[in-house]
Amino acid sequence: MKKVLIPTRLDGIAADLLKANGNYLVVQDASKPVEELARLHPDAYALIVRGEKIPADIMDKLPKLKVIVRAGAGYNTIDAKHARKKGIDVMTTPGANSNAVAEEVVALMLADARHIIAADASTRSGKWEKDRFMGREVAEKTVGIVGLGNIGRLVARRLAGFDVKLLGYDPAISGEKAAEFGVALTDLETLFANADYITLHVPENDETQHLIGPRLLAAVKTGATIINCARAGIVDEAALRMAKKERGIRYLNDVYSKDDGGRKSVADIADIMLPHLGANTREANAKAAKRAAEQLIDLDQKGITSFIVNRDIPEGLDEAYCQLAYTLSRLCRCLLGKNATLKMIETSFYGSLEPFADWLLVPITAGIFEDFDLSTDCRAARKHLEDMGIDCVNRKADVRKGYENSMTIDFIGAVDADNLKRMSVRGTVAEGIPMVSRINEFNKLYFEPVGPTAFFLYDDRPGVIGAIGLKLAGAGVNIEDMRNPHDPKTNRSLAILRINQAPSEELMKAISAEIKAIAAFSIKL
């Protein structure tokens, strides 16, 4: 029998399922440190943990360890790289807390609308302040959901009975798919201008850092409520502080830069503050425990690897091509436009890459969805795309084209109800370095997609590059590399500039207006 060590207060359903399976000897003990349990049980085959740290030295004390399951989504407390070196699979249980977070959003909305927290304290103190605690109803309000992944969709479903109008922003989901759970897709500006409640459900990354800043906050309705149960960094606290003074915005918060005690930077602007309780329910913990046991059994008995987060790259595939697929996907998504709804992905893999078409769908999917785990498998990628209403087709490579070891990725998206737009990129790896070789009709580019990069599409004429350079120089931005291909059929040119720092949104708008750009955007590749 395989020994499974559970050194935490995990819900007992995990141990029950493993014991019932008949192939596992379970030791669950939350009273001793992990280090001591590792010494007492050196024959452990698997560990199931919650927030416990599992560094390299603990793994080294367990010579028979083959699997570590984190009953939750994150795994930063586990040395996954060392685990890979020792042949140990690390798994997580993503999605187990989605409903808990969605319900927390609704709870915060209602608690704030009816002054539940303050009214409770007042009444307990002997006061009777009905006039002070005049509330408002959620019914017939407009709720804007920023990010329509698992949690965002569940928020929509949980609010279905409140007779609210639901607006949603997520450039990666189709309008048809959003409509299935009652959400009307729109752009961020329209959402912020029309919503009485705005709830945030996007990951924190370079593109979403301070996403909720001066521009969007200036559009918010007076007295609207913003709910953040996602990540602290997506809100510009200084801009929110100013917006609260000017527009009376309410802010309900459950996320911080660090999960620990001490004074919080949002204490003066948060109308309700919680200690990151989103996933902190008995049901979420039980669900994570159940999935942890089920995933371990499925790995052993069925070979299902979907939830392993430290997978090896398949033998024969250069890691640089994985990075290339991810980068081309991100680039193609930006070229399509942030307000275009992605409908279809078409891929072609040439040369030795053709056998890895399924595997490379994973980094392509991760390039579109920042919260999609790069370590999952192609089945999970296809399921995720399907859930978002995106079709995926891998075209048979035309060997006559002579594209050795390269890949082409096309994105087709809906600009509006009547118009589709296609963007196409091709890339390869040269001397171990990923290179973009084509963007739409602009061929033989061969630029290295790394660092802050600005793109400008414009009608070709003299002086445009000079105008771009002057604007960048005036803002203290230096050009480190540049490609400027021209297409004689359309008389259009594309300026691709690798620069030393990310340009501000205002600078990009100013350059775009100066050169009358057809399209302009920047991205950190």
Res 254 pLDDT > 90: yes
Query: Same structural domain for residues 108 and 35?
Result: no
Query: Which residues is 414 bridged to in the sheet?
Result: 341, 420
Tens digits of residue pLDDT in 329-341: 999 998 888 778 8
65 and 115 assigned to the same domain: no
Q: Is the pLDDT of residue 207 over 90?
A: no
Same domain, 470 and 350: no
DSSP strand pairing (433-439 vs 183-185): unpaired
Pairing status of strand 197-200 against strand 183-185: unpaired
Q: What's the average model confidence in pLDDT over 253-259?
A: 90
CATH of the domain at 481: 3.30.70.260
Burial of 465 (0-12, 13-18, 19+ CB in 10 A): middle
Specify whether 247 is located in the same domain as 135: yes
**CATH number, domain containing residue 75:** 3.40.50.720
Over residues 74-92, mean pLDDT: 87
CA distance 227 to 156: 14
Q: Write out the H or E segment, with its range, that includes residue 198.
A: strand 197-200
Domain stop point among 432, 449, 466: 449
CB contact at 8 A, 235 and 200: yes
Does any domain span residue 341? yes
Is residue 309 domain-resident?
Answer: no
Q: Domain containing 392 — which CATH number? A: 3.30.1330.90
307 part of a folded domain: no
Q: Which of 404, 433, 449 is the last residue of a domain?
A: 449
Q: Where are the alpha helices (DSSP H) in 96-208?
A: 98-113, 116-124, 150-158, 175-180, 188-194
* DSSP β-ladder status, 165-169 and 142-146: parallel
Considering the domain architecture, whether residues 444 and 465 belong to the same structural domain is answered as no
Q: How high is the pLDDT of residue 312? A: 66
pLDDT tens digits, one per residue of 419-461: 788 999 999 998 888 999 999 999 989 999 999 999 999 999 9
How confident is the model over 453-488, as pLDDT tens digits? 999 999 999 999 999 999 999 999 999 999 999 999
Identify the CA nearest to 295 among candidates 17, 490, 105. 17
Q: Report CA-CA distances (Å) from 8 to 21, 32, 49, 443.
A: 21, 9, 6, 56
* Average pLDDT across the chain, whole number: 91
Average pLDDT over every residue of 248-253: 96
The residue segments making up the domain with residue 507 are 450-525
Per-residue pLDDT at 15 exceeds 70: yes
Report if residue 278 sits inside a domain: no
Q: Looking at the structure, do residues 386 and 501 belong to the same domain, yes or no? A: no
Query: What is the signed CA dihedral for 281, 11, 46, 43, rounded to 10 degrees?
Result: 140
Distances (CA, A) of 194 to 3, 65, 220, 370: 56, 54, 7, 26
Count of CB atoms within 10 A of residue 66's CB? 17
**Whether 59 and 38 share a structural domain:** yes
Q: Which two tokens stand for residue 49?
A: 């943990």
Is residue 485 located within the same domain as residue 374? no
User: Of 59-73, 310-324, 384-398, which gets the smallest average pLDDT?
Assistant: 310-324
β-sheet with 272-273: strand ranges across: 183-185, 165-169, 142-146, 197-200, 225-228, 250-253, 272-273
| Domain shared by 196 and 147, yes or no | yes
Please give the pLDDT value at position 376: 67
Same domain, 210 and 261: yes
Instruction: Give the pLDDT confidence score for residue 492 in this predicted structure.
Output: 93
Q: Please indicate, yes or no, whether residues 445 and 458 belong to a single structural domain of this protein.
A: no
The total number of structural domains in the chain stands at: 4
Domain boundary among 449, 484, 504: 449
**361, 221: one domain:** no
Chain segment 495-525, per-residue pLDDT in tens: 999 999 999 989 999 999 999 999 898 988 8
Could you tell me if 386 and 369 are in contact, meaning their C-beta atoms sit under 8 angstroms apart? no
CA-to-CA distance for 329 and 341, rounded, in angstroms? 15
Q: Is residue 80 part of a domain?
A: yes
